[in-house]
């Protein structure tokens, strides 16, 4: 009998692991709403498109409009201010803006570890500074490979970010003074290292949670020559034409309504026809590099799917794909290269600027950091063969959803217990809603509005209504059912609605430690 007990326990542990879905959250950096093929792009993303075809797309999925706040909300299921990351990683010495995760929250890793999950984080963390207590290895992740302090490099750590290094768990591997092997590229490395951790978990018959945070396609724009060559010349038609084409495809795909007009080209960006031939060639090269970076992400998604099938865990693995904010308009109206090397190489330092960010965020207005749709609307794909009925494959879920919902989803599907305390301190309850109903064809029945604040920009979404304002500007009011591209401001026509929604916003801001607006 004693000889049978270990075998019995092995069977039980295997059965438990089999019942619990594996979860992979993949997040890109500075990628716009219409940058995937399944969301209207000309960029080739067949692997993500295939996940969408046999899964779901969410047409109204939102982030917090900026890198660190989005990552904090995703990781904790809380408004980013409650987690301590209402801004970037600078400590402003006030509760909502400490620049790191506080102890009044737990991460998805910390929630799932007690449920028997192997927790993996690869790529960009960016939820704290150099102190190791703020690294993912100290916030619930068993296996880590990437850059705890942020991204900003591709072929090797950059001297521009002298404090950003590549680590495995807590061992520093590569620095601006210590290069990785020849041919190394972050997008590939973050995938390959994560897959090695996945193989380890599967070998130990553990369910796994993997948070894969690519730093692509964030500037500086750097990509492999063969990937750039694939797109060179495709953007000679210019940003005006590409925006129109994307809008038409989004309507055709059913992701946006035909009554929602394409927002006008940003008024500070010149018409493509006004550029010289030399300028057109440079802008084509810049956007081809950006497209190559997105293409490389998709190639790696294909690698992940193939490995999951090889390991025989594909059917019960939920993959969720999204981005952290809209396209980045930094630092100028046109794309430019501030580096010494050819655009796309390790010696270059290229941005695609407001002109191409306006394309990435089509059909919407504004950009990363803004809380208009261009800044906060993300493409979202969910794929889970064992959990999304075949009859729903390829469908579009149209209710608003948010990065804060991912914690609730992981806790729900894993059977984990969300704790009431962390390190002997009470923590905030989850604020998100599980996406399980969406997977099963039911309404989320969200009870509370969605709120955002970043750098004085502010927004509240309640049902069909959205109240939004840039820093120091008056509130704008939009009917999202009639005008999701935010072209018809109803604030002066509906002052009572503005008053009611703004009251909700200020009550939320007080509860969540949002900085008061300077008078």
Q: Which residues are catalytic?
A: 67, 126
Match 């306006």 to its residue by tokens: 358
- Taking the alpha carbons at both ends of the chain, their separation in whole angstroms is 77
Using CA atoms, how far apart are residues 422 and 439, in angstroms rounded to an integer? 31
Best CA proximity match to 444, nearest among 116, 62, 125: 62
Match 């521009």 to its residue by tokens: 160
For 517, other C-beta atoms within 10 Å of its C-beta total 13
Q: How far is CA 191 from CA 159, 185, 504, in A?
A: 24, 10, 42
Using CA atoms, how far apart are residues 230 and 269, in angstroms rounded to an integer? 26
Using CA atoms, how far apart are residues 466 and 478, in angstroms rounded to an integer? 5
Burial (CB < 10 A; 0-12, 13-18, 19+), residue 430, is: buried
Best CA proximity match to 41, nearest among 287, 229, 273, 215: 287
Q: How far is CA 358 from CA 14, 247, 442, in A?
A: 49, 12, 34
CA dihedral sign of residues 15, 56, 329, 89: negative
Q: Which residues contact 3 (CB under 8 A, 6 or more apart)?
A: none
Strand duo 336-337 + 350-351: pairing:
antiparallel
Work out the widest C-alpha separation in the chain, in whole angstroms: 84
């Amino acid at each position: 009998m004693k000889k049978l007990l270990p075998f019995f326990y092995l069977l039980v542990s295997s059965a438990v692991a089999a019942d619990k879905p594996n979860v992979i959250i993949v997040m890109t950096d500075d990628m716009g709403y219409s940058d995937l093929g399944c969301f209207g792009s000309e960029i080739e993303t067949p692997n993500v498109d295939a996940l969408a075809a046999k899964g779901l797309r969410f047409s109204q999925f939102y982030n917090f409009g900026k890198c660190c706040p989005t990552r904090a909300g995703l990781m904790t299921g809380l408004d980013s201010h409650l987690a301590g990351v209402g801004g970037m990683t600078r400590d402003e010495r006030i509760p909502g803006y400490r620049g790191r995760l506080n102890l009044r929250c737990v991460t998805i890793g910390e929630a799932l570890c007690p449920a028997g999950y192997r927790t993996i984080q690869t790529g960009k963390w960016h939820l704290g500074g150099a102190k190791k207590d703020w690294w993912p290895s100290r916030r619930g992740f068993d296996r880590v490979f990437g850059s705890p302090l942020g991204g900003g490099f591709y072929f090797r750590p950059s001297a521009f970010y002298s404090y950003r290094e590549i680590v495995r768990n807590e061992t520093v591997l590569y620095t601006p003074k210590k290069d990785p092997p020849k041919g190394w590229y972050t997008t590939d490395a973050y995938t390959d290292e994560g897959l090695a951790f996945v193989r380890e978990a599967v070998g130990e018959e553990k369910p796994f949670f993997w948070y894969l945070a690519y730093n692509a396609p964030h500037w500086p724009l750097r990509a492999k020559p063969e990937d750039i060559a694939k797109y060179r010349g495709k953007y000679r038609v210019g940003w005006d034409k590409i925006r129109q084409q994307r809008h038409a495809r989004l309507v055709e795909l059913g992701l946006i309504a035909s009554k929602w007009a394409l927002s006008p080209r940003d008024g500070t960006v010149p018409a493509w026809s006004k550029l010289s031939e030399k300028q057109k060639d440079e802008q084509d090269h810049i956007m081809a590099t950006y497209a190559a970076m997105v293409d490389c992400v998709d190639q790696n998604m294909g690698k992940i799917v193939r490995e999951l099938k090889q390991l025989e865990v594909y059917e019960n693995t939920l993959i969720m794909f999204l981005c952290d904010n809209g396209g980045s308009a930094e630092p100028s109206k046109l794309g430019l290269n501030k580096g010494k090397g050819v655009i796309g190489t390790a010696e270059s330092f290229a941005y695609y600027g407001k002109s191409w960010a306006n394309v990435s965020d089509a059909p919407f207005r504004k950009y990363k950091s803004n809380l208009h749709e261009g800044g906060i609307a993300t493409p979202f794909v969910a794929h889970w063969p064992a959990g999304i009925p075949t009859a729903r494959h390829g469908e579009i879920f149209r209710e608003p959803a948010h990065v804060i919902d991912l914690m609730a989803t992981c806790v729900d599907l894993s059977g984990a217990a969300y704790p009431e305390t962390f390190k002997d301190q009470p923590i905030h309850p989850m604020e998100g809603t599980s996406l399980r109903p969406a997977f099963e064809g039911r309404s989320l029945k969200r009870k509370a509005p969605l709120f955002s604040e970043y750098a004085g920009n502010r927004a509240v979404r309640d049902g069909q209504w959205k109240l939004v304002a840039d820093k120091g500007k008056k509130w704008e009011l939009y009917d999202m059912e009639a005008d999701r591209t935010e072209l018809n401001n109803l604030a002066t026509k509906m002052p009572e609605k503005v008053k009611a929604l703004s009251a909700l916003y200020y009550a939320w801001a007080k509860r969540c430690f949002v900085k008061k607006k300077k008078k």
